[in-house]
Every structure is written in C-alpha cells, then in structure tokens.
C-alpha cells in the first residue's frame, strides 16, 4: 500500500507540474489577439466562474477576522500575477518567464525572513544567494539586453513578489482555512473586479482578430488550469506533505521551457540551462 501511495503521489506531482507549467505558452498564444490586461482579467474572471460551486460551499467560513487577508490574498495571488505575467510576456518569451519562476520559492522564503522574522541559517542564505546568481545568468545570457528585455524580467519579478506575498499571507494570516477554501473565497472578491473591468473594456479588436478562436480557447484552458491546479495541489499536500509538494518548483520551469521550445519555437542557450540548475540547487538548499 505504501508503494502504491508513493506512486500516486509522484503521478499527482507530475500532473500539477504539467498544469502549472503550461499557462506560459497558453498566455503567449492568447496575447496574439487580446491585450495583456484583457488576458489577465479573463483568466481571473473565468476562474472565478469555475470556483463558484466551491465559493457557495465555503461561504460560511467567511468571517470578520479573515475578510481583509482574503481580499489581499486575492489581489496578490490572482490579479497581481495574472497581470504581471501577461504584461511580461508581451516583452519576453514564455520560456524565459518560466525559467525565472524557478526563483519563486527563494523569493517567498526571503520575504518570510525579512517581513515575518522566519528563522534562517547558513544553508538558507547560501541557497538564496545561489538562486539570485542563477537569475543574473538568465538576465544577461540572452541575445537581447535592451530595455524591453529588462522590463519583461522586471514584470516577472513583480509577479513572483505578488505570489510570494500571497503565500506568506496564507501561511501567517489564514492558518485556519484550507488551501481550497482560501482560493475559492479569494476569488469571491477579485472575480467580480475582473468581470467589471471586462464589462467596460473594448473587445472589438480581439473579436475581429484573425487568431481570435485560438486565443479564446487558450484563455479558457488558462482558467481551467488555474482551477485544476489549486484542486490537485491541495490534494497532493493532503496525500503527501508540504515538502514533497514544494518539489513542483523543480518541474514547472522544465514544463514551461518544453512548451516554449515545441510550440513557441524558443531558443534556449546552455548558459540558461546552467542557470536553471543553479537556481534549483539553491531552492534545494533553502528547503533542507
């Protein structure tokens, strides 16, 4: 039975990594017809619609003590990264965006240390430094080093800071709620915000675009993956452990790079591959 559970955990880990590593290429295709802010708004609003059954189910868990943290979690964990990643991918490739996301665990930990006084040691500091060293290699190893390239990287960094803020909020301000409860109730607040924005934005250009059908399909898949990722990730945590579930940080960039090369035609250098290895070694050190 133990071997069966272990196999199930690994299959679930691979599934979640595939789900969370795929949005980069989907977003890139959606941006062929929609603007970055429209892509972000559709991702949040369509995900909100999918979460509605869970929102009704978990509504009773909403209380005065958790409304503000839930609103902040929705803003930083959903609207923030949706907008920043979409904006970044108008400037850099999906592969580069996926590579840089490998730094998320390190940024999350650094924020916990600086803002929430999380304990640290030499290994953790070394892991953080290695992570940033790998990031610098990614930044300076591409063919383009112009303003557009650096702004794209800046927006990815802002997306990761936004997600890291949400993760720390969940850890320190919402300990009584499960991950699925937090995700659904956070969408209760940010979903209508995104819907209101879409109601007043001009969608005539995307609807008239040549690639509209493909882009609309990618937006739908993006929302489905957002929903499925939350559900399966929380199942993975319950079946295994937080430490094992955190291993997705090693696999998401690989999935993003794979889709970027196969579908997006991205070119990846040896230096960039080396940088991913350096970052992941750093992530490993910080989680020991």
Query: What burial class does residue 220 get, using C-beta atoms within 10 Å of its C-beta: 0-12 exposed, 13-18 middle, 19+ buried?
Result: middle
Q: Residue 278: give the domain boundaries.
A: 2-286
Nearest to 40, CA basis, from 86, 93, 104, 90:
86
Quote the CA–CA distance of 118 and 137 in Å, as a whole number: 28
Taking only the tens place, the pLDDT of each residue in 137-155 is 777 776 556 778 889 989 9
Q: HSE (CB half, 13 Å, CA atoms) of 167?
A: 19
User: Does residue 1 carry a pLDDT above 50?
Assistant: no
36 vs 6, 31, 39, 110, 218, CA distance in Å?
A: 40, 6, 5, 29, 13
> What value does the mean pLDDT of the chain take?
86
Model pLDDT, residue 246? 67
List pLDDT tens digits, range 154-170.
Answer: 999 999 899 888 888 88
Task: Report the domain count for the chain.
Answer: 1
Q: Classify residue 176 by burial, with Cβ atoms within 10 Å: 0-12, 13-18, 19+.
A: exposed
Would you state the pLDDT for residue 4?
Answer: 62
For the entire predicted model, the pTM comes to 0.87
Residue 115 above 90 pLDDT?
no
Identify which has the larger pLDDT, 95 or 106. Answer: 95
């Amino acid at each position: 039975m133990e071997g069966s559970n272990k196999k199930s955990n690994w299959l679930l880990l691979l599934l979640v990594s595939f789900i969370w590593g795929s949005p980069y290429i989907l977003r890139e295709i959606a941006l062929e017809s929609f603007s970055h802010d429209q892509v972000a708004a559709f991702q949040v609003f369509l995900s909100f619609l999918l979460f509605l059954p869970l929102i009704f189910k978990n509504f009773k868990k909403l209380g005065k003590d958790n409304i503000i943290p839930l609103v902040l979690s929705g803003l930083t964990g959903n609207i923030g990264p949706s907008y920043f990643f979409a904006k970044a991918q108008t400037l850099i490739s999906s592969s580069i965006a996926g590579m840089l996301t490998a730094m998320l665990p390190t940024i999350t930990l650094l924020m916990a240390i600086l803002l929430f006084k999380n304990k640290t040691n030499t290994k953790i500091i070394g892991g953080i430094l290695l992570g940033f060293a790998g990031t610098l290699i990614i930044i300076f190893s591409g063919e383009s080093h112009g303003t557009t390239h650096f702004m794209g990287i800046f927006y990815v960094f802002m997306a990761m800071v936004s997600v890291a803020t949400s993760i720390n909020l969940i850890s320190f301000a919402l300990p009584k709620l499960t991950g699925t409860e937090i995700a659904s109730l956070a969408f209760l607040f940010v979903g209508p915000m995104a819907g209101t924005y879409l109601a007043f934005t001009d969608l005539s250009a995307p609807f008239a675009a040549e690639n509209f059908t493909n882009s609309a399909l990618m937006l739908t898949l993006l929302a489905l993956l957002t929903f499925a990722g939350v559900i399966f990730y929380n199942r993975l945590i319950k079946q295994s452990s937080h430490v094992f579930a955190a291993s997705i940080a090693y696999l998401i960039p690989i999935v993003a790079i794979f889709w970027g090369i196969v579908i997006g035609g991205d070119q990846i250098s040896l230096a960039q591959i080396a940088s991913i290895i350096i970052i992941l070694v750093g992530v490993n050190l910080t989680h020991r």
